[in-house]
Structure 1
Amino acid sequence: MGTHMARGAILLLAALILIYSSAVLAEQKVEKVIKGLDDVHILKSREDSHKVLLEACKACHPDADYKFWMLVFGKGEPRIEAITESGSPQKASSDEDATAGERRPTRIGTWDYANSHDYFQCEFCHSSKPNLDNKNPMFTMPPSDLCALCHTGKNVLHLYEAGGQGQTVELAKLLKHGLPTDDGKVVCLTCHQTHNALYSTRPGYIKAEIEERSVNPHGGKLYCLLCHEGKLDDASKVSFRKQNDFIALCTACHNMQETESEHHQVGVQPGEDTWKVGFSGFPLQAGSLSCVTCHDEPCQLPRGRSNPNFLRGGPYSSDSEFCFRCHAEDKTEALNPHKQISGLGMIKKETCTICHSAVPDKGTGLTPRTALREETNPLCQKCHMDEVLHPVVNHLVSLPSEMTAMKLAYEEKHKVVLPLEGNSVITCTTCHNPHDKGVLKGDMGVGAGEIQGLRLPDFREICAPCHGRQ
């Protein structure tokens, strides 16, 4: 991407913090506050994610007045400023029209639908200045990869991704509605347009939604192949994707972005108090709970309001009524795997095996026999599926060597442990201690039992080991 940046079209999102007096930050002429950069357009950021960044910055600069901006600059580049009713982009008629302080909507509607792409230079996405009559402009990289530069992490899992390999949508129906594909593959630009408003979808997408009744695979006829494979004309021979693994099939869509944290953990076997589950109309998968243990969705039926969550045997007057189909009413408190110490100060060993294959020995620690049931992040996400307040930046990545060295120095100085996995990979437990206070001793016990289990005493400090001061 570096070579493309050199072409003069660079977008810096929330990377620049301007600290000036309120008089300098006047809304009308904000493009003049940076001296020495003549061809710069500055827009005030409205991103909610910057509230998180603000807290992090104040860890070291508590008294500073921060304003977050995004810059777009490119010497002499034409700027797309408006979209006609036909969908054709038009250049700004003059430099004055292109002033950042005088934004105008790019489609019929209100400012609430302002496009986040309004102030991109053309060459941020295109390898050369596009001809407005050219129907096939060249891109700096595959369009979906371009989208992923900014649209990462949450809220980008779509139905076309969920099925994995193979056809998940009846392509003929997409083409019928004028929705293009990339060599038969559904991509971002199949449904979305990039030159009009935020989240803008192609006109054909709306037509497909109306005609097919729903873009929800449970209620329409467009996405049958998302869950099923083979021919669907014989109900007795219907098969499912993912080798009939319903957990893998359902969680392809209903993942941490889509599913509420109150959902029951799957992949576990019924206990002594819930043994009857498999004999009372709640089927198990290889002896363990799966999504379809609780949910049953008859295909081709409207979603309906009487039982919108497709609970077996529903509708129910309350969630508790449904839970009591398997759980005894006199034992209504859910087993929290993080509450590991009893009222007498003893470790409740039954909580250990929710995450571990066996109860770890305090003397030897983790062994292959007592290791986690699966990798850390998927294990955590079985319960923590909708942590919408978590920073939107994806931190579950491999830590660069220089940051790893910085983290090790921080750990040594402050007597804490921020564990990584494999090739210096950050996991949920790098920042969060999943244990109750008193289970582990020494450095490994720091943060246990605290709010959110943070291994450092303050949220604003959690960034410091890898990104900041020692």
Structure 2
Amino acid sequence: MANSRLYIYLLTISIVLSLCSSAIALEKSSKRNCAICHVMWIDDFRTDKETLIEWQPGNVLMKDTQGVVSSEEMCYSCHDGYVMDSRSVTWKYNGHRTFMKPSKNVTVPADLPLSNKDEIYCGTCHTAHGGGSNTDASISGGLSFLRKDNIDSQMCEMCHTKQAAFKRYHGHPVKTKSYDIPEILFDAGSKRSRSGDRVICQTCHEVHGAKGDKLTVMENKASKLCTICHEKQKSLIETKHDLRVSLPDEKNIREQKPSESGPCGACHLAHNASGKRMWAKPPSPGEPVSQQCLACHGQDSDLKGKQIGKFSHPLTVALSSEKSTSSRLPLFLEDGTRNPSGGVQCFSCHDVHRWDPDNPLNTGGKNVEGEGSNSFLRISNSASSTLCLACHQDKKQLMTSDHNLEVTAPDEKNLQELIARVSGPCGACHIPHNASGKRLWAKPLAAEGDFGTQLCTGCHNKNGAGKAKLTGENSHPVDVPIKETKIGHINEQVAGVLPLYSEDGDRMDDGRIVCVTCHEPHNWDPRKSGPLENYEPQNVEGDTTNSFLRKANFPSPELCKICHVNEARVEGTVHDLSKTAPKAENFLGQTVKTSGSCGACHLVHKAPNKLKLWARPYGPINEKANAMDVLCTSCHSKGNIAEKKIPAVATHPAQKLLTNITIFSKEGTNYMPLFDVDGREKNVGNISCPTCHNAHEWSPSLMEMAAGKGAKGNTEKGFRFLRNMSYNTFCMDCHGPDAIYRYMYFHEPEIRLKK
């Protein structure tokens, strides 16, 4: 029994001694390993002698607080390049700032601890205990001793929340589209995303060993980092849009000069920009896309550069149905989103990063004046105005017409002192910025005169590029409000087909008749669309089927009849010379085929006679005849085309003054006009040929165009272009009941006597 007790006692003592020995060994081992960092745990510090590292007593179990053990120097004691791992460059170049309180732009979550001084320190992101979290999804296990997984830079985004919310704070997009990220970035220190093809924080930034001062993987003061991915935009460097060249003292919203921000940073900021497209300038009211350009180039800009002027190409307008645009010319919605259903903006025509669309190596220069082949245009616009015609396709016929000044006036210059070969054919008359007036006019304008007319007379004058094509002293009236003309009552009908304009050149339904009311200066032949075939560059002589008319005026007078509805009833009658005298020539030597039915008797331009713009030589009259009679006798006289229709009695006795408004209204169908000796219509005057005859209308009872010599079975002698019915004339004032015969048979006295 005693032996048993002794055995148990000795066994107990052995176990206790064994446990104590293991505990002592474990403690020594633990202290030896942990003391590599936890130097205050070493017994040697518990002495009254001075130590190399100052003694800092404290609770060894204090968690997530910064002391000697987690100081930057402690980490550097190993990670100074001596330990062969990925952190050999931790303190080389630039690293994440530590031992400072987080700024107001940073939100540090609770599970990323700060020091006991509320400062960021190494232990905020790292912990030396445990395997650590992962930084690369392609590698299993823990790396970098991070407190959280940092796959796709998700740990960065925990604190830098504004940079992660790039849409809200106008920053560089991250983790959105798939990109072919250049390998040169990974060679410089960039980290790959989970998929390997998306931009993450660590694509551009490196936490330790960053060569750029904003923790960028390379220095970016010359925008080297930006242009590695944005290679196409690299062509901006050394152009006028490189503000280091053109505006070296201009500052962005961070008060950085271009030499500090780099050429890209002058206009764009990777984080916390002022607006869309990472805009680096103060925000401006208006459309976000165009305001980015107008911040420098607008009328209100303080910068001394290329401003667009008062008259500039309209913005934010959607393309009309007859216009389309090339895929190379983008359109934008109001919020700046690129969309084929959007409107025209500055960026639609301009690529702000490239001076020359055909040569990326041509950077222009600070003092180089731009023209149609460069000027940051997306498509070269010289020679064929390709850029303009991408949208204005309905104007393409201009290229093969005499209004292409590159062909007909190659030395003519616009306001910018550019000839058509340099500005492009469109630029000879229109410039998108700093124009002299509406319609983006590229020629000087006179201080006085109707705007719409000046657009044509700027060239068609004695000293202009169109001096060979003048309208003459006697020409169709222009600058006349349509309400003041005889056709004023149908102004809405006219405006629906032919444009009318205000004095300032704005289109309006009750506006003025101007040159471009009848002419479309971009289309030589209204019957065709697109460029003309077999065009020979020369001054082509036109006729009434082309000549830049809005409608062809032969074989039917489609253009004239829009306004002159009643006069158009001459078509198909014996007074339509296309039917009865097709070879007869007017004063300019034109047959009806060239002049049109109306042009056989009236000339719109270069009329030899002011009276009714008469296109034929005046006919013979006696001293008793009225001046208006010369129009009729120009045909109805010996040797002329109507010599077989010369009446026995041609004129009413002179000095028999009559009034035509006592009984009859001028607006009524029974009105008979009177004229003075100069052919002007008066209320009191002598009877002349057009008093009784309406040369354009075979019968007053037929309110439609006649066909052939008569109409609807009526004989030639039945009406003979008489203006009114025989029972409804002012002849009754003098002749009473006999008036019916005198009116119907005035030119045939033998018949009157029988009646």
Looking at both structures, which has the greater relative contact order when contacts are Cα pairs under 8 Å and sequence separation is at least 6? 1
> Is TM more than 0.5 here?
no
Larger fraction in strand: 1
Taking structure 1 as the reference length, the TM-score comes to: 0.34
Taking structure 2 as the reference length, the TM-score comes to: 0.23
